Amino acid sequence: MKKNTEMKNASMAADSLDMKLYRGFVGSAYGFSGTMLKTFAIIIMVLDHTGAAVVYPILRRLSITANRELYGQLKLLYSLMRGIGRLAFPIFCFFIVEGFFHTKNRMLYAYRLFLFALLSEFPFDYCLKPGYIYWQKQNVYFTLLIGLLVIWMMDLVRQRPCLQYLCLAAGLMLSRAMMTDYNYKGVFLIAVLYLLHEHRFYECAGGAAAIAWESWAPLSFILCFFYNGKRGRGFKYLFYCFYPGHLLILGTIRHYLIPMLLPR
């Protein structure tokens, strides 16, 4: 009798663990809300872009390169900022997939991404690229948009795996041809998250494997596993507007403030 009870308890514990891996923290009073994860992502995104738009141009100033100790410290700071900043993109991809499954209007969702992709292109070039108009690279909103369209098409033909792979291949080629930020690798990550969405542990593990080529980035899926499925406070348009807004500010610092404070 005691042995049967122990076996039953062990089975219940195994079932509980499997359910926890399956659902993650969805529906739990604990974990992170969408607002919390997105806020974390935009903070480290700012850290990343500050490294690229501010610290890196400072490193190239003769007055800095002449001071070896200061140059070494700034170079280490730059590496850390860029490394930590790699955690942001996977979180945005994770929420593209979450948004796809929970939005009431997928067409409006895609339109919104397209609108902000257009609005963000000049700030992206102004802040991070050699010229104010730089055709060799497009901002990350285009990557997220293509990823959304790919999983939408894959969902429409989900009963026909061969067509799903064709949709994915078309999206990968499009992002590569457009030279979007993270290009085909970013679209592939979104597709992996979509395919494994039903099981939170597999989704996070698969996402980490898909972005493993980017150092630090897989760690972001530890946070995603603790997503509790709650939206949090409604700052939806703030998150959309923040991307072009902070790029404009950092671009202004790069082009005007740094040259004024640190002339060549």
Residue-wise pLDDT for 77-96, tens only, equals 999 999 999 999 999 999 99
What's the chain's average pLDDT? 89
CA distances from 85 to 42, 224, 240, 257 (A): 9, 16, 18, 23
State residue 1's pLDDT score.
52
Nearest-angstrom CA–CA distance, 201 and 179 = 31
Q: What is the mean pLDDT of residues 218-229?
A: 95
207 CB-near residues (< 8 Å, 6+ apart): 90, 93, 94, 189, 192, 193, 196, 218, 221, 224
CA distances from 115 to 66, 98, 119, 232 (A): 45, 20, 6, 24
- Structural domain boundaries enclosing 250: 32-261
State residue 9's pLDDT score.
47
Any domain includes 241: yes
State residue 66's pLDDT score.
80
* Beta-bridge partners for 138: 180
* pLDDT tens track for 48-77: 999 999 999 999 887 788 888 888 999 999
Nearest-angstrom CA–CA distance, 77 and 223 = 24
Q: What is the mean pLDDT of residues 103-129?
A: 96
Any domain includes 3: no
216 CB-near residues (< 8 Å, 6+ apart): 83, 84, 86, 87
* Beta-bridge partners for 180: 138
Any domain includes 134: yes
Q: What is the mean pLDDT of residues 164-186?
A: 96
Any domain includes 149: yes
State residue 10's pLDDT score.
44
Work out the pLDDT band at 14, boundaries 50, 70, 90.
very low
State residue 11's pLDDT score.
46
Asked whether the predicted pLDDT for residue 4 surpasses 70, the reply is no
Any domain includes 208: yes
Nearest-angstrom CA–CA distance, 135 and 129 = 10
pTM above 0.85, yes or no: yes
Work out the pLDDT band at 210, boundaries 50, 70, 90.
very high
Q: What is the mean pLDDT of residues 252-261?
A: 92
Say how many domains are in the chain. Answer: 1
State residue 117's pLDDT score.
97
Any domain includes 1: no
Any domain includes 2: no
Closest CA to 123 of 81, 181, 58: 181
Any domain includes 69: yes
